[in-house]
Structure 1
Amino acid sequence: MPMLQNDYHLSPSRLSDHYSLEITAKDVDALHDSKALIAPDTQIAITFLPGEDPSSRLAATQAVRKLGFEPMPHFSARRIDSLRSFETYLHAAVAQAGVTRCFVVAGDPLLPEGPFSDSAALIATGAFERAGIRTLGVGGHPEGHPHMSEAQCWDVLQSKCAEIAGRGMEPLIVTQFGFNADPFVSWLDNLRRWGIDAPVRIGIPGPAGIKTLLRFAGRCGVGASTAVMAKYGISITRLIGTAGPERLIDDLAARILPSHGDVRLHFYPFGGIERTVRWIENHRAPR
């Protein structure tokens, strides 16, 4: 989609206002060490990894709250073995970490480990609103979904957002990360055309080694062609060194319009939390 001509210019620093971060349970020490670099109440998502002890994930959620940030624990539907374990963990997160926002995904397993085949099944239980959750996040896929057509992606996303709102909660969309602004801008255009007005967090890869970035791209099914990576600032014929998302963020800032609504950035700190938040602050500084 060609870039729209307009007089609206969103600065990269403004686009980065109120950014969010994603961590694993193992990242708590690094988050603590980086506390001074992160604004209070920053939204911190805590992932739901396979084979992870739920108590470790709960401890990480508690730590996020104690550090003065806003925890958003993930719930991976196909990795939850029972309704009881789902509700037990949810209520513990609310009671012990003051959780008011959560994020739901289907999860990677092809076959569910319990009664939930997808994130819609978790939403349908009514457990989130009963627990007092006010914001419920779902995933967005600007570069498509490996198991759904484009039309199915839009149908499912629209249905989830409507279901969440109908249950008295605010939907939030957090996208898969990417290296190219084009799919993000096109997806935002289509999102609003579908009448979905939920706030959006665009997934941004934090600065990292080039091999690390390509490894995560391959694992997550993100487009990383030679042309895309060259636009991002990486030559895949030279895998030495590190790369940050400055070109991507600058391009997004130049192309996101008022009609796109509430759009912020969500950072995946592939190169480490401290490196990511230091990079964000340096990029936000006046240039």
Structure 2
Amino acid sequence: MEWKIEQQHEGMLLRDYLRQVQGFSRRILKTIKFDGGLILVNGIEQSVRYALATGDKVKIELPIEKRGNLMVPENIPLSIVYEDNDIIVIDKPPGIAVIPSYHYPEGTIANGLLAHYEKHHSTYTVHIVTRLDKDTSGLMLVAKHRYSHSILSALQQAGEVNRKYQAIVEGSLSKPSGTIDAPIGRKADSIIEREIRSDGKRAITHYHVERDLELYSFINVQLETGRTHQIRVHFSGIGHPLCGDTLYGGSLNIIQRQALHCYSLSLPHPMTKQILHFSAKLPMDMVTALQKL
């Protein structure tokens, strides 16, 4: 990463320029300093107390990141929608976990990404920005390095990373559009399940009914917050669980997994600030489920 200092930043300390102008966190600057990265000005290593001059060329070399024990490359097919040096957008199929865990130690999106990176002689690790549940399909955003991840996390908290979903829920909703504003927290007797509870974190979900099918509804959903299982919990909480979502009361009558798909993703690029828009078609199992109704 390189920048040429403009006159308006003349005299700034390098530390302040990197934090205030380029969005580096204290944590990342500390990592660069102590874990093998480099901060160069005009090709010479400098401390963050260096006073910048107009025309200076600042270059940052991030340290190579360590990978966890389960982060092993595997040749898993990936549907890559977009890729550059800073981010990658994937259209995830249902039925595949995003990162390795005790229950899914291999065969995940992360394992496939590592193999993809190695194939292109890259040393990146995996930084998930918008994670999807194992049985949710659609677009997901991944940062290639900790700097872009830091910027994207801040953008996400500011509501600038926008996702839209399509879902099939049970029953006919009473209103053609609406907002569910109900706090979500972990269910007391479960490490996986969430529920609507007064001491939970605020969660806001907007929806619009695309097709009212009497016994079912095909809906468009947009998240204002990003709590774990938010869409699933909210619609179950109002008596309209997602079809196929047995964890939250849905039946397997028309589909064998929760009928939830992230079809739209938009965000400012972490480096260029250009607004990027991506879309993904409804997967065949949800298309087939709708044809049955």
TM-score (normalizing by structure 1): 0.25
Bigger proportion of residues as helix: 1
Q: Which structure has the larger Rg over C-alpha atoms? A: 2
Higher relative contact order (CA 8 A, sep 6+): 1
Bigger proportion of residues as strand: 2
